[in-house]
Amino acid sequence: MDAAGVSFLSQILDEALAYWHEIRGDSRIPQRDALVPEKIVALWPYILMVDVIDDGSDYYFRLCGQRLVDSYGEQTGRTLMTAKIPSLVRDRCKQIFDHCVAQAIPTYAYWPESASERRPLIDIEALCLPLSSDGTTLDRMISLNVNSWRRSLAPGR
């Protein structure tokens, strides 16, 4: 879904979208070179840096943040099709990535359960932000996944 006008549950996604708009300026898609890693240090644990392969036939995981590694294992250097993740997670990633590539807009998704074998009782709020290496072609993305404990199953409830 288009992320415009969405009230995110996580402030992390608010920060990411605000930064994306800042580096985008008047462009349709911000350039990857405009991204300054030191300005988004708080976001790095939640970030998956993704290269788009052949207009979306697959996706290469350039960098996987620590929170994602904790949930799904290290996937840096793999493609979506070769990643060692549950098929439900792969399908969800493909869905949000494909929509972001097709529409070239920030894309939001919420799933009530993660399908992570390591953390099965968490919900996922995801935001995918398009980037360009040349200023026109959407060939990269920042995908953020923020986990939240399901209230009904949280410890102590």
Give the tens place of pLDDT for each residue, 87-123.
888 998 999 999 999 999 999 998 876 555 555 556 7
Name the burial class of residue 154, with classes exposed (0-12), middle (13-18) and buried (19+) by CB atoms within 10 angstroms of its CB: exposed
Model pLDDT for residues 56-96, shown as the tens digit of each residue? 899 999 999 999 998 889 999 999 999 999 888 899 899 99
pLDDT score of 120 = 55
* Lowest-confidence segment of 20-29, 69-78, 106-115, 133-142 by average pLDDT: 106-115
Alpha helices in the chain (DSSP H): 11-24, 66-72, 87-103
Q: Are 108 and 4 in contact (CB under 8 A)?
A: no
